[in-house]
Structure 1
């Protein structure tokens, strides 16, 4: 039945009811039933006016809204999970970085200890035979046995600039002496009483000086390059 047919049926029914009510009302002397019948007819007419597809549209809109709410909730949860995963990853990265730095520090410490042990195991200045004089090659050979291999070139660079490997070199103006041009010259005595005539004693003193003041011959050489003294 179409909305027009429903409306016509409702109007006809309301007319009939109104007519009956009028007769009854006249017979009884009351108009209350007439009013009730008219109200009922009016309500029937209004319900008939609602389009048949409106209820489906309301239901569809409700389902769409629910889907939107669920999508927003899912998106919020996904973002929260992503943030939590990023936080955990950042914490893991920080721990890994700290562990790597610690391992590098331990490796550097072990390397320094190994170098120190190597120097300790190398021949001391007193173990070289005493000679009346020494060639540059002999002095360099001594130094190679006393200085760590990875530090020797830096060590040699400094000696080249200071004395050209002349263990008896004297600065006429200042009195600086020996391979490292120590000033005053008596500083060498801390390594041995024979510092004037024994290049091995001077090498021992120079190596100790570089290690204690700069950390290593290469660090001493870096300072020398920047300042032309050490």
Structure 2
């Protein structure tokens, strides 16, 4: 009868341990034993021919089962290692994405703050320019006292006086109001209300704060009307905007 080595089938518990150990060592990354060591181990194991014939099939089945278990263990170990590596890579990817997202948020906030600051600076510069323009135009306007009194004034003369007293960028608004209130008649009077003059001051005596000749001097009326519009509506154009909405100012 021929003798079959354990290289074909592992037998007994010693052989099973050797087989499982070899497989487990491979799964866990250990270095396989050298050929010489393996041969020595195989030489020390029981040969199949040494097992009684009635027990050989049982021993073979047990050995194959142990080999299958060892292979399953190795597969589980490999799968676990692969899962751990995938989890590590995903965690690194998530951390990188989170960092990039945070950096983008900081950058966006910085850009928004910079834009808001620039918009605020531009708005303030525009307001300063507007104020300076208004101050310059008003300071350059001719005062009512610089006009020599006359016995009477034509519409053209009154309008010419207004052009010299009212800032250029406000004249049209001032003119619109005067057109509606008195059609440039400095002696216009409203018997029912007591309003008087170019801008229909109510009552007309209010204009005495600009000069005692308020009834006969259109320059005095223009001076008072311009001051009234500036103080109450910030400008003639502000007064005209209110007039359009309410038909009075």
TM-score, structure 1 normalization = 0.76
Question: Which is further off, 160-169 or 93-102?
Answer: 93-102
Segments of structure 1 that go 5 or more residues without pairing to the other structure are: 20-39
Question: Residue 172 in 1 paired to residue 201 in 2?
Answer: no
Segments of structure 2 that go 5 or more residues without pairing to the other structure are: 13-45, 53-58
Aligned to 2:109: 90
Aligned to 2:68: 49
Query: Cα distance, 1:228 vs. partner?
Result: 1.1
Contact 2:6/2:48, CA 8 A, preserved across alignment: no
Aligned to 2:160: 141
Question: Residue 115 in 1 paired to residue 134 in 2?
Answer: yes
Question: Residue 200 in 1 paired to residue 219 in 2?
Answer: yes
Q: 1:74 aligns with which of 68, 93, 98?
A: 93
Measured in 1, the distance between the counterparts of 2:115 and 2:8 equals 83
Aligned to 1:124: 143
Q: Structure 1, residues 2-50: CA drift from partner, whole Å, max 9, x if none?
A: xxx868532393656667xxxxxxxxxxxxxxxxxxxx99986554335
SS at match of 1:79: helix
Aligned to 1:191: 210
Measured in 1, the distance between the counterparts of 2:9 and 2:119 equals 89
Q: Cα–Cα, structure 1 residues 195 and 6, in superposed 2: closer, same or farther, change >3 Å? A: farther
Q: Cα–Cα, structure 1 residues 49 and 63, in superposed 2: closer, same or farther, change >3 Å? A: closer
Query: Cα distance, 1:144 vs. partner?
Result: 1.5
RMSD of Structure 2 on Structure 1 (CA): 3.1
SS at match of 2:9: helix
Query: Cα distance, 1:229 vs. partner?
Result: 0.9
Aligned to 1:11: 11
Measured in 1, the distance between the counterparts of 2:173 and 2:179 equals 10
Measured in 2, the distance between the counterparts of 1:122 and 1:81 equals 61
TM-score, structure 2 normalization = 0.70
Q: Structure 1, residues 98-139: CA drift from partner, whole Å, max 9, x if none?
A: 332233123213322321222111211111222211111111
Q: Cα–Cα, structure 1 residues 49 and 71, in superposed 2: closer, same or farther, change >3 Å? A: closer
Contact 1:11/1:45, CA 8 A, preserved across alignment: no
Aligned length: 206
Measured in 2, the distance between the counterparts of 1:97 and 1:91 equals 10
Q: Cα–Cα, structure 1 residues 112 and 118, in superposed 2: closer, same or farther, change >3 Å? A: same
